Amino acid sequence: MSSYFTDLAQQYIDGEWRPGTGSWDIIDFNPYDGEKLASITIATVDEVDDAYRAAERAQKKWGATNAYARRAVFEKALAVIDEREEEITEVIIAELGGTRLKAAFELHLVREFLRESVQLALRPEGKIIPSPVDGKENRLYRAPVGVVGVISPFNFPFLLSVKSVAPALALGNGVVLKPHQNTPIAGGSLVAKIFEEAGLPGGLLNVVITDIAEIGDAFIEHPVPKVISFTGSDKVGRHVATVCAANFKRSVLELGGNSALVVLEDADIDYAVDAAVFSRFVHQGQVCMAANRVLVDRSIEAEFTEKFVAKVRTLKTGDPRDPQTVIGPVINSSQADALSGVVEQAITEGATALLHGTTTDNLVEPSVLTGVPAESDLLRQEVFGPVVFLVPFDGEEEAVRIVNDTPYGLSGAVHTADIERGVNFAKQIDTGMFHVNDGTVHDEPLVPFGGEKHSGIGRLNGETTVDAFTTTKWISVQHGRSRFPF
């Protein structure tokens, strides 16, 4: 077992590793076998304050540092990840229940986002804006916001922490990171350790491992951070947005989804099956972009369903350390129980289980359900696990209506032999992202990532990340003398 679970089971504040001073511990468990990985005394409100104040102090010098010098830290961080790849893989497998395939996927994306951060340090550009006033020069400057608070989730904790932390730092900000309680190492102290080894000055990145039962809204209410980047459920995201608005902060919210993968009658059925199985079952379905619903034109429903169910049957559920395992454990027993409840509710409402997976501890085998009533709430909510609903439709118009009949709008996909037909279909869907002839699970460093409706506010990646973590300042220069009316 990686030494990270003993060495990094602490808070990281102002460049120092130190224990929390709370009255209780967060226990970090392996979701597959229940092994206790670490015990971490939680951070209190005082330590949250210490972290933000440290970031505020350190940011002043960092923000004034030459962008080329900042860039070197991210190049070194990439080297550290390369050196520690096997140890990091162990952490992801043990703490998340991620398979080796999932760990490799997450590490690949982390590298891609760090490479983009190397470039991002040089991205902000000023502008000269024309003025209707003679002799006036309007300069528009980009500046760091100051300090960014980052709250990351449990499903892709390493990636989704780095995805906000690295660009915020690259753009000259200080950061305080609060990882999810179920993934304090992969989503928190591991990130701090990598940047510490990469030479990031102390105080710029701080990690507080804590719980709202201890700190309440202190993390998002604190006066220092100007932006809160939150990834998680829409219920919590709504609260974060409300508190941020009340405190005149900007929030970037990457929330849940209820994506659909749509198979039109002219699609390559075998390819669509492969895309749909991956889109639903990658990382046990614990992905915000996962295809909860697979919509199939009724004319090809029988053939698609037969091939889809056959492929899902081949997915091995079990020990995530086994390279043959595709579906490891869900994150905790609450998730496992909730998923069992979803399947039973669907059957009670009249659905047919083409596959009815069993649940053993946190191992939830795949379930494939068809005939869920059109009015069922199950078709409109996010299901975070290996349960999928097959939904037939008659024609594109009905498919569009069904896809949009949800409060979420994150991702989706459509399969068709006619690419422009697919693009036209995608344009009618109320989502932030949609893919033609591919899966629903995608993230790329340069392309704006985010959702519509309950799936979030704002975008990350590329230029939208610059918008998220910088602010603009207008400085005008009057050459000659202005004329005033009095």
How far apart, in whole angstroms, are the C-alpha atoms of residue 61 and residue 446?
28
Same domain, 241 and 269: no
- Domain count along the chain: 2
Q: In this structure, are strands 412-415 and 259-263 parallel, antiparallel, or unpaired? A: parallel
How far apart, in whole angstroms, are the C-alpha atoms of residue 47 and residue 63?
24
Does residue 445 lie in a domain region? no
363 pLDDT exceeds 80?
A: yes
Domain at 105, CATH number: 3.40.605.10
How far apart, in whole angstroms, are the C-alpha atoms of residue 131 and residue 376?
57
How far apart, in whole angstroms, are the C-alpha atoms of residue 342 and residue 351?
11
357 pLDDT exceeds 80?
A: yes
Report pLDDT for 445.
Answer: 94
Same domain, 177 and 308: no
Does residue 366 lie in a domain region? yes
Report pLDDT for 9.
Answer: 97
Same domain, 177 and 319: no
Same domain, 177 and 268: no
Does residue 291 lie in a domain region? yes
183 pLDDT exceeds 60?
A: yes
Same domain, 179 and 322: no
Same domain, 242 and 286: no
Domain at 402, CATH number: 3.40.309.10
**For the chain, counts of helices (H) and of strands (E):** 16, 24
Which residues are bridge partners to 174 per DSSP? 147
What does DSSP assign to residue 143? Answer: E
Same domain, 278 and 225: no
Does residue 480 lie in a domain region? no
Same domain, 368 and 231: no
Does residue 443 lie in a domain region? no
In contact, 443 and 454? CB cutoff 8 Å: no
Same domain, 207 and 322: no
pLDDT tier at 2, thresholds 50, 70, 90: low
pLDDT tens per residue, range 433-455? 999 999 999 999 999 999 999 99
In contact, 188 and 153? CB cutoff 8 Å: no
Percent of the chain with pLDDT over 70: 100
pLDDT tens per residue, range 67-125? 889 999 999 999 999 999 999 999 999 999 999 999 999 999 999 999 999 888 888 88
| Residue predicted with more confidence, 67 or 373 | 373
How far apart, in whole angstroms, are the C-alpha atoms of residue 322 and residue 329?
12
Report pLDDT for 345.
Answer: 98
pLDDT tens per residue, range 221-263? 999 999 999 999 999 999 999 999 999 999 999 999 999 999 9
Same domain, 26 and 175: yes
- Across residues 173-202, what is the average pLDDT? 98
Percent of the chain with pLDDT over 90: 97
Does residue 400 lie in a domain region? yes
- Across residues 323-330, what is the average pLDDT? 97
**How far, rounded to the nearest angstrom, does the alpha carbon of residue 47 sit from its chain's CA centroid?**
25
Report pLDDT for 1.
Answer: 52
377 pLDDT exceeds 60?
A: yes
| Residue predicted with more confidence, 477 or 2 | 477
- The type of residue at 196 is E
pLDDT tens per residue, range 124-137? 888 999 999 999 99
Report pLDDT for 126.
Answer: 86
**How far, rounded to the nearest angstrom, does the alpha carbon of residue 317 sit from its chain's CA centroid?**
24
- Which of 120-124, 336-340, 363-367 has the weakest average pLDDT? 120-124
Does residue 479 lie in a domain region? no
Same domain, 189 and 270: no
Does residue 484 lie in a domain region? no
Q: Which residues are catalytic?
A: 254, 288
Query: What rounded mean pLDDT belongs to the chain?
Result: 97
Same domain, 302 and 363: yes
Q: In this structure, are strands 11-13 and 16-18 parallel, antiparallel, or unpaired? A: antiparallel
Q: Choose among 295, 289, 333: nearest CA to 447.
A: 289
pLDDT tens per residue, range 267-313? 999 999 999 999 999 999 999 999 999 999 999 999 999 999 999 99
**How far, rounded to the nearest angstrom, does the alpha carbon of residue 239 sit from its chain's CA centroid?**
18
Q: Which domain holds residue 265?
A: 259-436
144 Cβ partners below 8 Å, 6+ apart? 59, 63, 171, 172, 173, 469, 470, 471
- Across residues 418-444, what is the average pLDDT? 98
- Across residues 402-427, what is the average pLDDT? 98
Report pLDDT for 3.
Answer: 87
Report field, pTM of the whole predicted structure over 0.95: yes
pLDDT tens per residue, range 29-67? 999 999 999 999 999 999 999 999 999 999 999 999 998
Q: Choose among 432, 384, 440: nearest CA to 235.
A: 384
